[in-house]
Amino acid sequence: MSSALVSHTVEELKKLTTEELVALFKSLPSPSITEMDGEFAACLLQQPSSLSRLFGHISVANPLMPWLCKAFRPVDAESGRGYNTFSLLGKVVQRFPMQTVIAPSRYDGNPAYTLVYHLYHSMCGDIHMVDEVRKVADGVYLGIGTWGFTRAQRQIPLPFLLEGPIGVYRKDIGRKRSGAVLAREIPALNR
């Protein structure tokens, strides 16, 4: 277990710059498919630019539909399913289905718990969102999200924090996207 696993509290993570968060991410291990089971409270961390902060505020920090969590369940030893949960006018709703796998990270080539959205129909799938997650400490995970249509767009790191599990996985959502290929969506495999 690396020293990074015991040296950063949630409050410390919230104060780090995007560059510091990416550097920390590179030092962390991937959680396993089986470890990521349930709902994990989610929040954005420091974003790399004012445009990223604005997009993050509109998409997940929006007071009209705040982001509550990401949720995961193992399907087998190598993959899982997931979704994001929001509060919409007091009602809890699931959006943005994903497949999860352990895949090489775009940042260092080492394993990361990877969330691939394009395999399912949703706005996140349409914009080729891919998140990578690594373990900071028991119950604390650092994620780096990306999205975009070009290689340059898909290199902009959008850090977030997960804590939990705080609840159980509710149910699978979403409809598979015909013709979508997992390997094409893993950034480290498509340089």
- Using one digit for the tens of pLDDT, what is the confidence trace for 7-63? 578 999 999 999 999 999 999 999 999 999 999 999 999 887 676 666 766 666 677
Domain span holding position 58: 4-189
Please state whether 14 falls in left (phi above 0), alpha (psi between -120 and 50) or beta: alpha
- State how far the Cα of 85 lies from the Cα of 6, in Å rounded to an integer: 28
pLDDT digits (tens, 9 = 90+) for 142-173: 999 998 888 878 889 999 999 999 999 999 99
Does residue 165 have a cis bond before it (omega within 30 degrees)? yes
Residue 111 pLDDT more than 80? yes
Asked whether 168 and 112 are in contact (CB, 8 A), the reply is: no
- State how far the Cα of 148 lies from the Cα of 14, in Å rounded to an integer: 25
Long-range contacts, stretch 63-67, CB < 8 angstroms, 24+ apart: 64/88, 64/89, 67/42, 67/43
- Say which CATH number the domain at 128 has: 2.40.128.580
With a threshold of 0.95, does the pTM exceed it? no
Q: Which residues lie closer than 8 Å to 144 by C-beta, 6 or more apart?
A: 21, 22, 25, 107, 131, 132, 157, 158, 159, 160
pLDDT digits (tens, 9 = 90+) for 69-83: 999 999 999 999 999
Number of structural domains the chain divides into: 1
- Per-residue confidence (pLDDT) for residue 19, from 0 to 100: 96
Residue 94 pLDDT more than 90? yes
Please state whether 149 falls in left (phi above 0), alpha (psi between -120 and 50) or beta: alpha
Do strands 140-146 and 67-74 pair parallel, antiparallel, or not at all (unpaired)?
Answer: unpaired
